[in-house]
Structure 1
Amino acid sequence: MAASIAFVLGGAGCAAPSAASHSSSADVVAGAAHHGQLKSVVIVSRHGVRSPTSTKPPLQQLSSQTWPEWPVQPGQLTARGAALVEQMGRYYGAWLREEKILPASACPAPGQLYAWADVDQRTRLTGNALLRGIAPACGLTAAHQASLNADDPVFHATESGACPLDPQQARRAIDERLGATGLAGLNSTYAATLSRMSEVLDFQASPFCRQSPQPAQCRFDTQPNRVRIDDAGRHMRLDGPLGIASTVSEVFLLEYAQGLPADQVAWGRIRDAADWRTLLQAHNAQFDLMARTPYLAARKGTPLLADIAAALEQTSNDPHQRTHAPAGNRVYVLGAHDTNLANLAGMLQLNWSLPDQPDNTPPGGALVFSRWRDPADATDYVSVELVYQSLAQLRDQTALSLAVPPKRVPLPIPGCQDAAHGNACSLRDFSRVVEQALAPDCAPGR
């Protein structure tokens, strides 16, 4: 239902836009829970800070203000974005060495630390930056598929054609999430975030409105919302105010994380933490609807979740080739996108809110899957966490370490929690949950 989407993701908080905005919460812990002996880890990381991608309509049509210039081409990782991701890598490396997953004073053995990245520049360089941070001076780089011009099905299952959508079923799934009010009700459900976005953009003075048949009646929150799915079921998007507000609010956050001067971040119009929270509500809600709706999440996320599970479950080899992680791997890094994190959340029914970060899937944030062993009974368990930099840590370029860590939020898997083991999930039950979540016709090796 539209109301339930607002409840799940609308409460995500953020840090105020200042260096003094570091906040804490009972839900945010400084380090990993100690469940036993750590055996292996899969880190599914969103890429770092990038420049804005191409949008529909173009950003220049949405405001008469001049948008900031970026030092890289659209959609590319910036040097600062790489540096911020490398900080995450440094923290991961310190944690993994402390847990004796990686050698204390030598480079990892071949395949012990391995990364597979999507083919975009921002994901490939993110994978490299993470490896550089985890294992400095070891010369490791992320692997990726040979063709840079084709979609990798691990990260783009529907776009690649490996797992296309049934357009009618996709629309039914979205309608079921929205309830009786449907797409038409989104503008009223998210009236506050759309109204605030209109004010920040000064939308009525925008080229979009000036070119409309009735400029005086051009309002941001009266434009229709539409879901567009091509006949082949490969491409889907949400057009209209919520989709636009989602994209633009993320652009503002990227400007802030990139360290642009305050008067260039949303032209200096974002007032405080509550304002960030209001604006990013659109982004979180759009991702919840379009990436976490169960049918969509399963079609989009099955190859990735299968890859993760196989990496955690692997024995000496993987006869079904369900993972790119090599035999003997202990730390597997996936250079991914925010949509991938949202798909995994939808498949595993993971929910979270971040009191010091308005974006639920922020730049450089990662879902970390840890396999560990209880020495008492030699049973293996899987725990899941969201590890991320707060808004202040991104803005301040905070040097991360065991003493000054990123934020870590534990994410119990519904129906798969062992209270005696920190609400982790036994590996056997985790494998069962994953198998139930996969779209059978999309899983590799089937």
Structure 2
Amino acid sequence: MMPRRHQVAARLFIAGALWLGISQAHAQAQYQLEKVVELSRHGIRPPTPGNRKDIEAATHRAWTTWTTADGELTGHGYAAVANKGRWEGDHYRQLGLLTNGCPQPQDIYVRASPLQRTRATAQALVDGAFPGCGVEIHRVKGEDDPLFQTEAFPETNTDPAKQLAAVNATAGDLAARQQALQPAVQALRNAVCTPDADCSFFEKQWQIKQSKSGKAYVDGLSVLANMVETLRLGWNENLPLSQLAWGNITTASQITAVLPLLTANYDLSNDVLYTAQKRGSILLNAMLQGAEQGVGKTTGPTPDTRWLLLVAHDTNIAMVRTLMNFSWTLSGYTRGNIPPGSSLVFERWRDTRSGERFLHVYFQGQSLDDLRNLQVINQQHPLLREEWRQNDCRVTEVGTLCPMNSALHALGRNLDRSAITPVSYDK
């Protein structure tokens, strides 16, 4: 028989374990997830036809031809996004947002940008989250969606003179920016140029110019950024090393070393506040409406579903995060980088004790190597994540929760109401 003192100790241990379990369950039950609004970037793709033309002209050599057409989602990219969708579906079931089995219409609404890579990404996400369920992917007829292709609509396009002035003001001393980025420029040059080739493009002085359509861009930098994005996507795609920068890039750290050029190009394009206000306000407004839909004063057209999933482009995410005044630096990436398949997420939580509602806002994505290796997302390989916060937010066991009303006000502070036009949704 167990000695009395051991029996007492055992009872105390069991009681303590039960109390801890009850306390944890009670704490977890304090917050209930009610709603998710997610803006995702498409998955891995080859360079777009225009980007390929520019980077091949600058380096005077042909770049790798991929297994899919330029600009379209690859099979590897589909699998990586399906991994993420599978994890999200399981995660939201565990949190009680979703139930087992196929979703009902009130559970999820998916809208994708009309391009193949975004539509296929949306399909991969729902195939992962709801395998075999045939979840509908909504899209507009034609090539231009007012939520995503805002440059195609007068109300949400920029005034050329104002955009040029805004880019010039943001750039400041452009020559100093170029000089500061020389380590990344030289690393890129070493990776993609042959010693006997004419690579004078890498020495070209950067200049702010405007296209015929009025879009302001940094001549010189923009093409270098396209090279960097193509190399990053090639690494994510798990291209053979001989086909990635002709064998000159063999580690993820070499990709990280050239990513500052991509960040610099973001800084002087979609991250310019004026540009973001004109072209991103309509999308951020839809996301804020979606987060509030069903409980607030807003009764707009945004679908009132538990999970509103919008699948678009890095340019869309860049403009929305600029309006939010939100930046991040995920491990292995540079400031503000937007990996393929990554997403900006608004979660609405309710305190079951007080009834108060909160927003949990964050950006998430997989690492360079996890995308390359098609790593399944789990506790050992979680999504990289960084949260948005302000002074009145609280750190809880479900994340950093910010009072909904003040968060909505802060996140919408930079919206340009004149650039928010009506948006229709197929039901």
Residue in structure 2 matching 1:61, options 37, 42, 57: 57
Residue of structure 2 in register with 1:99 after alignment: 95
Q: Does 1:396 align with 2:378?
A: no
Distance between the aligned counterparts of 1:35 and 1:192, measured in 2? 50
Q: Is contact 2:323–2:412 with CA below 8 Å preserved after alignment?
A: no
Give aligned pairs, total: 391
Q: Is contact 2:208–2:216 with CA below 8 Å preserved after alignment?
A: no
Q: Does 1:419 align with 2:394?
A: yes
Q: Is contact 2:45–2:77 with CA below 8 Å preserved after alignment?
A: yes
Q: Is contact 2:39–2:312 with CA below 8 Å preserved after alignment?
A: yes
Residue in structure 2 matching 1:72, options 68, 75, 83: 68
Per-residue CA deviation, residues 42-67 of structure 1 (Å, 9 max, x unaligned), is 11110000111123653322334442
Gaps of 5+ in 2: 1-27
Q: Does 1:191 align with 2:186?
A: no
Partner AA of 2:331 in structure 1: P
Report the CA distance between 1:70 and its aligned residue: 1.0
Distance between the aligned counterparts of 2:284 and 2:125, measured in 1? 20
Residue in structure 1 matching 2:352, options 350, 361, 375: 375
Flag the 1:339–1:34 CA change in 2: closer, same or farther, 3 A. Answer: farther
Q: Is contact 1:63–1:205 with CA below 8 Å preserved after alignment?
A: no
Distance between the aligned counterparts of 1:405 and 1:43, measured in 2? 21
User: 1 or 2 for the larger relative contact order (CA 8 Å, sep ≥6)?
Assistant: 1
Q: Does 1:125 align with 2:143?
A: no
Per-residue CA deviation, residues 301-354 of structure 1 (Å, 9 max, x unaligned), is 111101111111112897542x2x2x3x00111111111111111111111112
Residue of structure 2 in register with 1:165 after alignment: 158
Q: Does 1:227 align with 2:222?
A: no
Paired residue secondary structure (1:424): strand
Q: Which TM-score applies when normalising by structure 1? A: 0.81
Report the CA distance between 1:143 and its aligned residue: 0.5
Paired residue secondary structure (1:226): strand
Paired residue secondary structure (1:370): strand
Residue of structure 2 in register with 1:334 after alignment: 310
Flag the 1:49–1:420 CA change in 2: closer, same or farther, 3 A. Answer: closer
Higher helix share: 2
Residue of structure 1 in register with 2:24 after alignment: none
Residue of structure 2 in register with 1:23 after alignment: none
Distance between the aligned counterparts of 2:112 and 2:40, measured in 1? 10
Q: Is contact 1:187–1:221 with CA below 8 Å preserved after alignment?
A: no
Q: Is contact 1:203–1:219 with CA below 8 Å preserved after alignment?
A: no
Residue in structure 1 matching 2:286, options 281, 301, 307: 307
Report the CA distance between 1:77 and its aligned residue: 0.5
Partner AA of 1:237 in structure 2: Y
Residue of structure 2 in register with 1:201 after alignment: 192
Q: Is contact 1:297–1:343 with CA below 8 Å preserved after alignment?
A: yes
Q: Is contact 1:41–1:371 with CA below 8 Å preserved after alignment?
A: yes
Residue in structure 2 matching 1:249, options 211, 228, 231: 228
Per-residue CA deviation, residues 91-111 of structure 1 (Å, 9 max, x unaligned), is 1001000001010x2211113
Flag the 1:416–1:117 CA change in 2: closer, same or farther, 3 A. Answer: farther
Flag the 1:431–1:338 CA change in 2: closer, same or farther, 3 A. Answer: same
Report the CA distance between 1:34 and its aligned residue: 9.5
Report the CA distance between 1:155 and its aligned residue: 1.0
Distance between the aligned counterparts of 2:366 and 2:360, measured in 1? 20
Distance between the aligned counterparts of 1:416 and 1:295, measured in 2? 26
Report the CA distance between 1:382 and its aligned residue: 0.8
Report the CA distance between 1:74 and its aligned residue: 1.3
Distance between the aligned counterparts of 1:424 and 1:50, measured in 2? 35
Partner AA of 1:228 in structure 2: Q
Distance between the aligned counterparts of 1:193 and 1:400, measured in 2? 31
Paired residue secondary structure (2:138): coil
Flag the 1:441–1:416 CA change in 2: closer, same or farther, 3 A. Answer: farther
Q: Radius of gyration: which is bigger?
A: 2
Paired residue secondary structure (2:210): strand
> How many percent of aligned residue pairs carry the same amino acid?
28
Distance between the aligned counterparts of 1:205 and 1:300, measured in 2? 43
Q: Is contact 1:45–1:366 with CA below 8 Å preserved after alignment?
A: yes
Residue of structure 1 in register with 2:31 after alignment: 36
Residue of structure 1 in register with 2:217 after alignment: 237
Q: Is contact 2:358–2:403 with CA below 8 Å preserved after alignment?
A: yes
Q: Is contact 2:36–2:345 with CA below 8 Å preserved after alignment?
A: yes
Distance between the aligned counterparts of 2:236 and 2:288, measured in 1? 32
Residue of structure 2 in register with 1:146 after alignment: 141
Residue of structure 2 in register with 1:264 after alignment: 243
Gaps of 5+ in 1: 1-32, 211-217
Flag the 1:34–1:385 CA change in 2: closer, same or farther, 3 A. Answer: farther
